[in-house]
Amino acid sequence: MSVLIDTNILIYHTQGVKPATEFLNEQIIKGSFHISILTKIEFLGWDKHTPEGFKRCNQLIELSNVYPIGDIIANKAIELRRESKVKIKLADAVMAATALLNNLALATRNTEDFKGIEGLEIINPFG
């Protein structure tokens, strides 16, 4: 199954955290490096990037398939937020909706943020 990568995996990768780097490299090799447009915004929009760091991060993002937010994903995210038994943040709802509607697993270290979302396959590269 292809994988949607959460922002935290990209951040850990840029910090040189081995499980994140190994997982991300594996996804890139398999052609399974997918992100939400929200991840692109979060990752590249960080205000502490050095010019060189921003350039490297932008090059990494260019290797990914970026999913936009259209009405179908927006409507699914609304449904998830309204019907979930646990409170889900907007960005997490969009990520989950993107994964569900595109038959993607979601790779994240923050597994608790997505607990209880029916049908969502979660992969934690950290075990």
pTM: 0.94
Residue 73 in this model has a pLDDT that exceeds 90: yes
pLDDT tens-digit map of 9-39: 999 999 999 999 999 999 999 999 999 999 9
Predicted pLDDT of residue 31: 94
- List the domains of the chain with CATH numbers: 3-123 (3.40.50.1010)
Q: What percent of the chain has pLDDT over 70?
A: 100
DSSP annotation string for 2-26: -EEEPHHHHHHHHTT-HHHHHHHHH
Q: How far apart are CA 29 and CA 50, in angstroms?
A: 27
